[in-house]
Copies of this chain bind each other. A is one copy, B any other.
């Protein structure tokens, strides 16, 4: 869709392998004109805040950052004291894949795991966890619940699930953080509005992922709780995230939000994933696993098929979960032609096998 290539894309390792969109490059070029006030005091950054307020149908505070790890770390630090705990699912990116960034940004808070199906926290377990040893000076204090949307296994929290998590958290005085690394893909999967999936469902602060869906070096923290903003501003600077030429990050996000680009990107990514699942489901020996409804799909492949596809140059992860399980991630950049080439190869190689 966004990137024109002659050869089909053969990579399904992650949506972060895609480039960016021409619209975003153009916005960067445009933002480069003339001098601009640094550190976010430029018109493009102001425009971003306005756009975000429109997207979320309410005033918000926006902190532009360079990585999802920084977004998560800073957002969580604003929601927990160092002696607090962060409740999240064992599959969560924050506990597995950030080399301790949440512990770093929070000055040593503790991540406490709450298991459950489909990479969502079981409400009963969560209800117990939010009050566990509350007020007991010998224990870390439950302070914030963090849920990942889309989850790391490709499922999507329903609005009811987000609301239930939020209610449980708020009833016990905890805040709610959403790690929205694939925020747009979740919106498309749920066919709901950004407001519905966040603050209307009880989310207090959001890591607004954009890179995987088309920006280059820009993500954002979107805060729905103005009481966190002063603290966030200092943590943001102190955490090495306040860029001098912020206009170049804001411009990416502005272009991303304008003209529905982000939704078009996410719709494409999700549609391509659905096309993959539909195309591969009938293949002999292939099984769709998990509960994918966004742009990340898990399958069971015969080992020979995996090998044969790798031999043809298709890239995807196959060694990280149980044996035989592979993951295919599509992005805004994948086209129907790309996906069909994969499906055709899968069918052909499965037969041979």
A→B interface (CB under 8 Å):
3, 5, 9, 11, 13-14, 16-20, 25, 28-29, 31-39, 65-70, 73-74, 81-83, 96-101, 103-111, 137-141, 211-212, 216-218, 231, 233-245, 248-249, 333
Contact = CB atoms under 8 A, between A and B. Distances in A.
A98 B238 contact: yes
Contact of A141 (B65, B97, B234, B242): B234
B35 A99 contact: no
Main secondary structure of the interface of A (DSSP, over half): loop
A226 to B, nearest CB: 16
Count of chain copies: 4
A33 B5 contact: yes
A216 B16 contact: no
Contacts of A105: 240
Nearest to A68: B244
B217 A245 contact: yes
Contacts of A236: 137
Given A82-B103, A103-B110, A137-B236, 8 more contacts: A9-B35, A25-B32, A32-B216, A99-B138, A104-B238, A104-B239, A216-B217, A217-B243
B67 A240 contact: yes
A15 B239 CA distance: 22
Given A108-B104, A211-B244, A237-B101, A25 B16 contact: no
Contacts of A237: 69, 83, 98-99, 101, 137-138
A240 B138 contact: no
A109 B99 contact: no
B69 A242 contact: yes
A17 B38 contact: yes
A83 B99 CA distance: 6
A141 B231 CA distance: 11
The 8 closest A-B pairs by CB, nearest first: A70-B240, A19-B32, A103-B108, A16-B244, A216-B248, A66-B66, A107-B107, A17-B35
Given A19-B32, A20-B32, A67-B241, A234 B81 contact: yes
Contacts of A234: 81, 83, 99, 137, 141
A66 B238 contact: no
Given A107-B107, A111-B110, A240-B239, A34 B16 contact: no
Of the listed residues A14, A244, A333, the one surrounded by the most CB atoms of chain B closer than 10 A to its CB is A244
Given A99-B83, A217-B217, A37 B17 contact: yes
A108 B107 contact: yes
Contacts of A139: 96-97, 99
